[in-house]
Structures are given as C-alpha cells and as structure tokens.
Chain A
C-alpha cells in the first residue's frame, strides 16, 4: 500500500480525504469532517496552478483531451477493471464500476454534444452534478431521480455560472 500512496497525485490524495470527510459528516462527526476537509484543501493547493489565460482554441483542445481520456476509460479502463474483479465477489467494487461507467458514458455524450453545438448547448439553461455518483446534466430542472444511481433530485446540485 505504501508504494501506491507515494505515487498518488495531489488530486488523488485530495479525493481520498474528501471522501473520508463526507463519511464523517454522515456519521455526524463534524470536527473530523472539517479536519479532513482542511487536509483535502491542502492537496488542492499543492497542485500547480495554471495562470495564463486560455484562448478559445486552447479550451477546445482541452475538451478534446478530456474526451479522449473519457473514451479511453470506456474502451479500456472499465473493461479491464470489470474483468479483473469479476471473480472477486466484491459487490461494492462492482457497483462502483457500474455507476462510474454509466456516468462516464453520459460525460462522453455531453462532450460530443458540446463539440457540435458549442456554447449554444449551455446558454439559457443550467448545469447539474449528482453529488452521489457524478452524473452531469444540462437542462433547466434536474431529473426527479438520478438516471445513474437513482438518488432523488435534491442530491443533484447546480453548478453556478460565475464570471471567470
């Protein structure tokens, strides 16, 4: 395990901590949740920050790289992981792969639509992310239940439009 931890990027270390922080909140342990939140924020600051403003072309190329990584997850990552764990009888791990793969397919379809329509896709509407499984939805109102994890809509949270 120690080897793995040493290889983790700030984002991965941060995600380990923010996950544990959420669990502490569910256990009504607010002090522990806040401390883990502090540690997670530290890792967020560790990631080297990009400062130079990006042109429209540069953003488009970033979306292309993201779409390629998503494609790689769908064609290789999930398939490999599913094969690896198929005989392990680990229901939790299987469940996380099922949800993750579905949410990733929705991401792929979203980025495909964005590539075709550009900002027209996002104008005069809202963007939501399911707080449980990461499903992203573009529309005026979130679905009543999440199509990936079936959580009710009050767990599907809006992403505000902010001035950059």
Chain B
C-alpha cells in the first residue's frame, strides 16, 4: 500500500516532508511518488494535520456476493432511471428555453447518478472484479461489426484491470 495526497484537503503544512524517510512526499506535481513510497509505512498519513493523505491498496478484496433477487430489483429501478435520463436528455437537446434546458440537464445528471449507484450495488462495485471483465468481453463481442465502437479502449482496459 502506498500513500496518496488529496490535494483538495491539503493545507500545505508540509509535515509530510519532515517525516517521510525517502523523500517520496516531495514532488513537483503535488502527488506522492509511489516508486519511492515505502509499502505500508504510514508516517505521513499519521502526521498530516489536515488528514489529506491516505493509503491506496495495491490489491482489493473480493466483492460481497449479490443475490439474483437483489440484482434484478436494483437493475429494474436503474432501467426506470435510464428512461428518465433519456427523456430529460431529449428535452435538453430540443428546447430553445435556457431555463428548461438547465432543469432538464439537472434531471439528466441526477438520473445518471441514481443509476450509477444502483449499478454499483448490483455488483459493479470494483473495476477489478470478474463481473467487469465479463461485461467488457461481452460488449467487445457484441459490437465487432460496429466501426465506431472503441475496441482498442476496451482491449486496453482488459489488459489493465
């Protein structure tokens, strides 16, 4: 596990510079140098007065099993939110009233976030989980004919995840 800095929270007290035994916290881009960071050291995490540093695991635990009933129930709701997203998107695309467009865009975003949460709890929690790989493989197979499908992006994802 190596340390990463949440720049939003960092109050530039620089205590991490004083405690880091390898100089990993002192970089040009504001992020901690993972190649220098000592696995599980935690000195900067504990020293940071603004709680802006945390440890990022190199491996993640297996996801909790989801029952078929739960998956179906959450996906059904997600389907309804997807319909609403589409309706609101059509409205945002076709109105000539800026206020209607603003409200419709808010509804698009809201319905997308509601769907994302339902999909997350229906099993798409970790990108590294096998359900994600199955999903990507299936999309790759299904869209072989479609030239606009981002095939390379999906193949690269399958390598990385």
Contact = CB atoms under 8 A, between A and B. Distances in A.
Contact of A100 (B89, B109, B114, B126): B114
Contacts of A39: 139, 150, 153-154, 157
A134 interface: yes
Contacts of B134: 1
A96 B89 contact: no
Interface string B107-146: 1011111111111111011110001101100110010000
B144 to A, nearest CB: 14
Interface string A13-27: 111101110111001
B41 interface: no
B61 interface: no
Contacts, number: 233
Residue from the set A66, A78, A132, A133 with the largest chain B CB neighbour count within 10 Å: A66
B88 interface: yes
Given A42-B148, A59-B97, A107-B110, A122 B103 contact: yes
A47 to B, nearest CB: 6
B102 interface: yes
Given A62-B90, A73-B77, A103-B110, A162 B121 contact: no
Interface stretch (B13-21, B22-30, B43-51, B66-74): B66-74
Contacts of B116: 15, 18-19, 22
Interface string A136-161: 10000000000000000010000111
A49 interface: yes
A19 to B, nearest CB: 4
Nearest to A11: B82
A117 to B, nearest CB: 11
Contacts of A75: none
Given A15-B115, A16-B135, A36 B157 contact: yes
B121 A66 contact: no
Main secondary structure of the interface of A (DSSP, over half): helix
Nearest to B56: A28
B1 to A, nearest CB: 12
A74 B120 CA distance: 21
B94 A12 contact: no
Contacts of A62: 87-88, 90-91, 104
Nearest to A100: B114
A96 B102 contact: no
Contacts of B79: 9, 12
Interface of B: 4, 8, 56, 64, 66-67, 69-91, 93-107, 109-122, 124-127, 131-132, 134-135, 138-139, 142, 148-150, 153-154, 156-157, 160-161
